[in-house]
Amino acid sequence: MQRKSERRVTNLRLIAAILLALLAAMLPAAAQVRIKDIADVEGIRENQLVGYGLVVGLNGTGDKLDSAVFTRESLIGMLERLGVNTRDQEAKLSTKNVAAVMVTAELPAFVRTGSRIDVSVSALGDASNLTGGTLLVTPLLAADGEVYAVAQGALATGAIAASGAASSVTRGVPTAGRIANGATVERELSFNLGSRPKLRLGLRNPDLTTARRMAAAINKSLGAQLATATDPRTVALDFSGRDVVESLAQIEDLRVEPDNAAIVVIDEASGTIVMGSNVRVSTVAIAQGNLTIRVTETPQVSQPGPMSSGGTTTTVPRTNIQVDDGGDKKLGVLSGNVTLRDLVSSLNALGVGPRDMITILQSIKAAGALQADLVVR
């Protein structure tokens, strides 16, 4: 009997452990994110490229050479490099199938010579549509003035433009387009990640608590004090004696729970309000009401009686004025340390719309009861 009792207790414990594990799996996970999604490694970045070029093959929607002097000079210079002399006929150039454009691209980190990258093309002159055009060979320069890529190819705008004698329809932006894989990388940016044991992680949303949690997660995973939070944006790493690439690959998938400041963002143009989960409101009383005056005109026609002499038909004005001072609105009291959910519920109970809610939040902030940063755009 004693062995049966012990087995029963063991089975109950095993069942309880399984139930706890299942319950833990069913519970919603904490708002944890990967380190690679909230921080960047120092030195791993993109670089901007820019160039000036010509788009040809347009259907009469290019630059007007009489007004776009730079387009005319660029066209003449390009033809001269190809062995065509147009200097003597410069005044007779009147083509509308060429447009001067600016070409931009981003050079990714660790890209190699011969790789292909996307480019964006934007009209520089008075061209009205770049659809169907082809970009000619365009060198792309970085901030140091060196050429890192060369772009060329047929561009796509994804826009539609049609016009008639009396009306026109335009969808999208026909004066800007993209060329997928339109540039070839000609020069690499030298950066040896494996030879830099001391690196820094930069948080995209600076926060001291998040930086400390990140450093603690890295030290726990690697089993050594290799990470230190130096400021709200930076976590310093020291991988001396370790494989840098292997260590970074190990820590980038670690999950931490980021902490955010209490912020309320208001966009008055669209009436949009976004509040963070850490927003709190101290004890405050709120009353909201609008003064509405409604004037209704109902003119009536007055006619003389039948067979009457000297009477005339006239219009008699009838005006009805109604004043609504919001007397049915009540004063609402929000207790101290109100959460975001309670704040929204209380404002909704008062029948407050988005526009009025913006004014109320600004008034609460002015009263010192809104424990959050108020950002108005």
Percentage of the chain with pLDDT > 90? 32
The 3 state secondary structure assigned to 33-47 is EEHHHHEEECCCCCE
Instruction: Please give the pLDDT value at position 106.
Output: 95
112 and 205 inside one domain? no
213 and 141 inside one domain? no
CB 347 within 8 A of CB 355: no
* Residue 198 forms part of a structural domain: yes
CB 218 within 8 A of CB 242: no
Q: Which residue has the higher pLDDT, 120 or 371?
A: 120
Q: Which residue has the higher pLDDT, 44 or 142?
A: 142
Number of neighbours of residue 179 by Cβ within 10 angstroms: 21
247 and 270 inside one domain? no
Q: Which residue has the higher pLDDT, 322 or 212?
A: 212
93 and 64 inside one domain? yes
In the chain, the amino acid numbered 196 is R
Token pair 């509040």 in the structure block, residue:
275
Check whether 87 has a pLDDT greater than 60.
Answer: yes
- Minimum mean pLDDT range among 77-86, 206-215, 339-348: 339-348
Q: What is the pLDDT of residues 164-206, one digit of tens each?
A: 766 777 778 899 999 999 999 999 888 888 888 899 999 998 8
* Residue 28 forms part of a structural domain: no
> Where does residue 8 rank: exposed (0-12), middle (13-18), buried (19+ CB within 10 A)?
exposed
Check whether 351 has a pLDDT greater than 70.
Answer: no
Q: What's the whole-number mean pLDDT along residues 344-359?
A: 71
d(CA 125, CA 67): 9
* Residue 1 forms part of a structural domain: no
344 and 371 inside one domain? yes
* Residue 59 forms part of a structural domain: yes
Instruction: Please give the pLDDT value at position 121.
Output: 96
Q: Which residue has the higher pLDDT, 29 or 286?
A: 286
239 and 114 inside one domain? no
Residue-averaged pLDDT of the chain: 80
User: In which band, very low, low, confident or very high, does the pLDDT at 82 lie, cut at 50, 70 and 90?
Assistant: confident
Instruction: Please give the pLDDT value at position 25.
Output: 45
Residue 227 is encoded by which pair of tokens? 């990470």
d(CA 126, CA 146): 29
Instruction: Please give the pLDDT value at position 372.
Output: 82
**Number of helices and strands in the chain (H, E):** 7, 25
Can you give the CATH number for the domain in which 222 is found?
Answer: 3.30.70
Q: Which domain holds residue 227?
A: 193-256
Check whether 27 has a pLDDT greater than 50.
Answer: no
* Residue 337 forms part of a structural domain: yes
119 and 249 inside one domain? no
220 and 296 inside one domain? no
User: In which band, very low, low, confident or very high, does the pLDDT at 23 lie, cut at 50, 70 and 90?
Assistant: very low
User: Based on the structure, what is the number of domains in the chain?
Assistant: 3
240 and 320 inside one domain? no
- How far apart, in Å, are the Cα atoms of 240 and each of 44, 191, 223, 236? 19, 18, 14, 12
104 and 206 inside one domain? no
Residue 354 is encoded by which pair of tokens? 């988005």
Instruction: Please give the pLDDT value at position 24.
Output: 46
Instruction: Please give the pLDDT value at position 104.
Output: 96
